[in-house]
Amino acid sequence: MELALGSKATIHDQELRIGNHVITLDRRLQIATRFPSRDDLEYIGFDALLDGKLDAKTFHDKVVILGYDGNRMQKLPTPMGEIKAHRLFCYGLFDLYRRMTSSRKR
Q: What is the pLDDT of residues 11-70, one digit of tens each?
A: 999 999 999 999 999 999 999 999 999 999 888 888 888 888 888 788 888 888 888 888
Instruction: State residue 76's pLDDT score.
Output: 94
Q: Range with the lowest mean pLDDT among 21-30, 57-66, 71-80, 95-104?
A: 57-66
* 65 belongs to a structural domain: yes
Quick one: average pLDDT of 76-81?
94
* 47 belongs to a structural domain: yes
* 10 belongs to a structural domain: yes
Does the predicted TM-score (pTM) go above 0.85?
Answer: no
Instruction: State residue 11's pLDDT score.
Output: 95
| Overall domain count for the chain | 1
| Pairing between β-strand 9-12 and β-strand 15-18 as defined by DSSP bridges | antiparallel
* 106 belongs to a structural domain: no
What range defines the domain where residue 46 resides? 2-101
